[in-house]
Amino acid sequence: MKPGQVKTAADAKKIIAERKCDYVKVGVVDMDGIMRGKYMKADKFLSSLDKGFGFCDVVLGWDSKDQLYDNVSVTGWHTGYPDAPVRIIPESCREIAWEDDMLFFLGEFDGKYEDVCPRAVLRRTLAKADKMGFKVLAGLEYEFFMFEETPETVREKNYRDLKPIQPGFFGYSMLRSTVDSDLYRDILDGCVKMDMALEGLHEETGPGVLEAAIQVDGALAAADKAVLFKTFAKIMAQKRGLMATFMARWSPDWPGQSGHIHMSLTNKAGKPIFLDKN
């Protein structure tokens, strides 16, 4: 059974049984859109498919550097940071391209935490659009920097004078994308394997800048793919002795980079709502 065929909890149980998995990996998205996760023993995961599992709710009350917010009501010292219920999304099943095909599933915060869960907020918004007769498609593009650095060297340098994988300006460079073709192919092939295929990948203007355009999909699936791409692009880079960053601007000496969200709103028949020929 292939991960893309998993649609239900029963399917998830079947693929785990077929592959005789000892562990699977699960991930949730925190308040800042950062993926947090863990390995889960297969038997615990199987039981969690039916009744969910607990995940410390501190991830909904701290920032990207694990520093606690002082203005959060859903969790905090006043609640003691208990576990939040999480439900597993069977249809999110994927193989992690850079981890020996480890099976991966997304989760979504449940119960009272659903009110602040980023994925749940989007899902409810899309449900409102559906009731209004709308279908929402989306495609995201990311511009990001690649450095010949490690988590240790950037700290030793105090995040200054970082070395990009290529120097200077050369947007849409055929030369650079071919010289670095092993890196490009690793990104392209890995994204196909993880069901977040890119429709384009090229050199942007600026040193060590790449731009990746993720193929269009329904808005919820597009959001899943966007957060997965940011996470696993960084993972792939570090496994190669590199570092990727999606920050808008890392140096005043070079252009900033960005991300683009392209959205298409249609009716149920597929007619574009934004288009007015008159």
pLDDT at 49: 96
Same domain membership, residue 14 and residue 108 = yes
pLDDT at 275: 78
The two structure tokens encoding residue 62 = 């701290």
Asked, for residue 62, whether it belongs to a domain, the answer is yes
Angle at which helices 181-193 and 219-239 pack, to 10 degrees?
140
pLDDT at 253: 87
Once rounded to an integer, what is the mean pLDDT over residues 68-90?
Answer: 94
Asked, for residue 275, whether it belongs to a domain, the answer is no
Once rounded to an integer, what is the mean pLDDT over residues 18-36?
Answer: 95
pLDDT at 151: 95
Q: Please determine, for residue 274, whether its predicted confidence score (pLDDT) is greater than 90.
A: no
pLDDT at 276: 75
Same domain membership, residue 10 and residue 111 = yes
Asked, for residue 73, whether it belongs to a domain, the answer is yes
Asked, for residue 277, whether it belongs to a domain, the answer is no
Once rounded to an integer, what is the mean pLDDT over residues 22-48?
Answer: 96
Dihedral of alpha carbons 175, 176, 177, 183, sign: positive
Q: CA-to-CA distance for 5 and 8, rounded, in angstroms?
A: 9
Find the CATH number of the domain harbouring 188. Answer: 3.30.590.10
Asked, for residue 111, whether it belongs to a domain, the answer is yes
Once rounded to an integer, what is the mean pLDDT over residues 50-73?
Answer: 94
pLDDT at 254: 86
Asked, for residue 257, whether it belongs to a domain, the answer is yes
Q: CA-to-CA distance for 73 and 175, rounded, in angstroms?
A: 52
**b/e per residue 107-135 (b: at least 16 CB within 10 A):** bbbeeebbebbbbbebeeebeeeeeeeeb
Same domain membership, residue 144 and residue 112 = no
The two structure tokens encoding residue 241 = 């002795």
Average pLDDT of the chain is 95
pLDDT tens-digit readout, 120-156: 999 999 999 999 999 999 999 999 999 999 999 999 9
pLDDT tens-digit readout, 38-55: 999 999 999 999 999 999
Listed residues 85, 110, 128: the one ending a domain: 128
pLDDT tens-digit readout, 147-157: 999 999 999 99
Same domain membership, residue 159 and residue 84 = no
Same domain membership, residue 10 and residue 124 = yes
Asked, for residue 155, whether it belongs to a domain, the answer is yes
Burial category of 156 from C-beta neighbours within 10 Å (exposed 0-12, middle 13-18, buried 19 and up): exposed
Same domain membership, residue 260 and residue 140 = yes
What is the 3-class SS of the chain, one letter each residue?
A: CCHHHCCCHHHHHHHHHHHCCCEEEEEEECCCCCEEEEEEEHHHHHHHHHHCEEEEHHHHCECCCCCECCCCCCCCCCCCCCEEEEEEEEEEEEEECCCCCEEEEEEEECHHHHHCCHHHHHHHHHHHHHHCCEEEEEEEEEEEEEECCCHHHHHHCCCCCCCECCCCCCCCCHHHHHHCHHHHHHHHHHHHHCCCCEEEEEECCCCCEEEEEECCEEHHHHHHHHHHHHHHHHHHHHHCCCEEECCCCCCCCCCCCCEEEEEEEEECCCCECCCCCC
Q: Please determine, for residue 277, whether its predicted confidence score (pLDDT) is greater than 80.
A: no
Residues 6+ apart with CB under 8 A from 107: 26, 27, 28, 53, 55, 86, 87, 88, 89
Once rounded to an integer, what is the mean pLDDT over residues 166-191?
Answer: 95
Once rounded to an integer, what is the mean pLDDT over residues 158-165?
Answer: 94
Lowest mean pLDDT: which of 98-107, 163-172, 203-212, 269-278?
269-278
Task: Supply the range of the domain harboring residue 238.
Answer: 134-267
Q: Please determine, for residue 99, whether its predicted confidence score (pLDDT) is greater than 90.
A: yes
Lowest mean pLDDT: which of 173-182, 190-199, 265-274?
265-274
Find the CATH number of the domain harbouring 106. Answer: 3.10.20.70
pLDDT at 258: 86
Burial category of 228 from C-beta neighbours within 10 Å (exposed 0-12, middle 13-18, buried 19 and up): buried
pLDDT tens-digit readout, 243-260: 999 998 888 888 888 889
